[in-house]
Structure 1
């Protein structure tokens, strides 16, 4: 679904990514792991068109989208959930969802679908997003992205700072979405267990370079932990 090929990228004169290649399988999950500062979020920004690579290419379903703007990538079926559980804090949960649905033409059906995935959002539909718990805000952020009915979802550390029970809910939702077909996921994550249970492919970044990559799954968990401990 997505190929990031030999990408070099950075900010001003500071290089961050060095010839990074990552492949996301169709209707599957690719996990990118690494410590803080490894270049994981920069990789997602390149994938989404928020940062222009200095060299290399980005292909979506075989189409070279390296020069496309973010809104053009959204129109082709990409959605991005950055770090920080982002929403409109002064709007209610329901208003946050409706705003996206109105912009994308999804309407009530799209909202109903994401509420089935995250039932807790029904319980807090009238509450301002800024007053939600961290886990609820993260579920809202993912729900907002899913309303656009993407083919490719980019998730930047969706479990960061969230209690274990909510981590399990998010994990199950990601797995259910990819099992159903029609959605691929590029997952940036530090929670190794979650990432390896979800991913068919993985890569480990260290100082902007891929130091380990391969087939995902629980059998690869120890290999990834060893790569991260170096």
Structure 2
């Protein structure tokens, strides 16, 4: 579904990511790992069109999308949940969901589907989003993204600063969604156990380059730790 070929990107004239090759197949979860400053978020921002590509290509369903604006990529089936449990803090949780669902023919059904995925939100719909815990805000952010009915969900550090029980819930939801079919996931994550459990393949970035990649089966944890060692 998503294919990056020799991708270089960054800010201004400064490249942060250098010559990355990466693929996310249909209904597949792929994890990108690495220390802070490795280029993970920069990579995602290039994929969704928030920063330009310096060289290389980004393909979605075989079509090169390097020059496509972010809104066109969203219409093509991308959804991006940035780092930091972002939401409209002064709106209620329910209003955050309705803001995305409004104008869609099946808006109510889409909201109901997300409340089934994240039942903890059901009792929080009337509460201001800014007053939710970090884990609750993250579930809300993912639910908002899923209302757009994406085919590719892009998650940046979804477990950062979140209590362990909610991490387990988010992991279970991601695995469940991809196993149902119709959704691929590109996941940036520093939580090693979460990433290797949720994904079928991984890539480790170090200084903007791929230091290791492969399947998440036996021996993957050792390879990841070695690649992340400084």
Question: Partners in 2 of 1:54 and 1:13 — Cα distance?
Answer: 9
Q: SS of 2:53's equivalent?
A: coil
The one-character-per-residue Cα deviations of 1:86-121 (angstroms, maximum 9, x if unpaired) are 111110000000010015444110000000000010
Structure-2 residue corresponding to 1:197: 197
- Taking a change above 3 Å as real, the CA distance of residues 92 and 200 of structure 1, as seen in their structure-2 partners, is same
Unaligned 5+ segments in structure 1 are: none
Q: SS of 1:89's equivalent?
A: coil
Structure-2 residue corresponding to 1:144: 144
- Taking a change above 3 Å as real, the CA distance of residues 212 and 97 of structure 1, as seen in their structure-2 partners, is same
Question: Partners in 1 of 2:52 and 2:137 — Cα distance?
Answer: 29
Unaligned 5+ segments in structure 2 are: none
Question: Partners in 2 of 1:98 and 1:219 — Cα distance?
Answer: 44
1:212 aligns with 2:208: no
Q: SS of 1:74's equivalent?
A: helix
Asked whether the 8 Å contact 1:197–1:218 carries over to 2, the reply is: no
The one-character-per-residue Cα deviations of 1:22-70 (angstroms, maximum 9, x if unpaired) are 1112101110000000000000001001111100010011111111000
Question: Partners in 1 of 2:59 and 2:14 — Cα distance?
Answer: 25
Question: Partners in 1 of 2:104 and 2:51 — Cα distance?
Answer: 24
Matches within 5 A, 1:1-230: 1-217=1-217, 219-230=219-230
